[in-house]
Amino acid sequence: MAKGWQTSNLVVTVLYMLLCCLHCHGDKEKRILLSDPEYVQQQMTHLQSELQTLQATVQAQNVKLQTQDGKISSLEQRLSHANQDGGGATFVRWGRTDCPANLTELVYSGYAGGSWWDHTGAAAEYVCLPRDPDLGPLQNLPNDDYSALMYGAEYESVNGHTPFGPNSHNKEVPCAVCRPKSFVSSLMIPAKTTCYSGWTKAYSGSLAAGEYAHKAASQYVCVDGQAQDLDGGGDANHDGKLFFAVRAQCGSLRCPPYEQNKYLSCVVCLK
């Protein structure tokens, strides 16, 4: 108690001195007397109010800082997990059931599929269908003509020649969905067999798409240079979604560097 009383007296004394200094140059009638406890009490109350306001402001700022620190910590943890986990964007390795060794991990392998090559309302993209489908509770809805359709896929030859492996004409196409282990981006580059600086090659092969005169739209995909046939698949001509090699056509396409009717390569790169 004695220590607290001494501290209070010291504070009051300092306050008195400050008030005297502030008013020492004013009129004599306005000078503050050290013996005026009412005025001192008013000033003390005012200062306490300002101090409380300042403390509340500091506390609010501390709460904001703690919130920001929490957000930063959360982002750092997520980044750390991402770095530990590695990887990010997935890609499809067309024509293979496995993924590039050491660089990626296999998510699943399956069957290449898509729309029928001659349907005008066909979906454009190739898809990699899993080997273990979950057909779901609505699989037995009544069939009608108002639906999209899914088919398997086959390699097609050009005048008996195909870049997708020997005797691959009409063979069914496998696929593998791959996830990079320590890369976050994947990029398919047409007409290249190597990656640009700063990128790592996953695989290279032949550019493929649907045949130009067919009704159905398609997309360009990269079929692995060591393409396989689907295990257990036949070589009967069942059609479906078709893989044709892609030839360059000069005109709006600059030649050189491209050459008329030359087949195009492709590469999938990681970063």
Contacts for 163 with CB less than 8 Å, ≥ 6 apart: 205, 206, 223, 245, 263
pLDDT at 26: 47
pLDDT at 142: 80
In the chain, what are the domain boundaries? 2-85, 87-131+148-271
Among candidate residues 267, 269, 100, the one with its CA nearest the CA of residue 199: 269
Cα–Cα distance measured from residue 154 to residue 239, given in angstroms and rounded to the nearest whole number: 6
Q: Residue 242's beta-bridge partner residues?
A: 154
Residue in the block written with tokens 């496998």: 174
Mean pLDDT by 10 residues, the chain (271 residues): 46 51 48 64 79 84 82 68 64 96 92 94 94 86 82 87 84 94 93 96 95 93 93 76 94 94 95 91
Instruction: Fill in the DSSP letter of residue 28.
Output: G
Distance, first Cα to last Cα, the chain: 70
The helix (run of H) or strand (run of E) holding residue 151 is strand 151-155
pLDDT at 86: 61
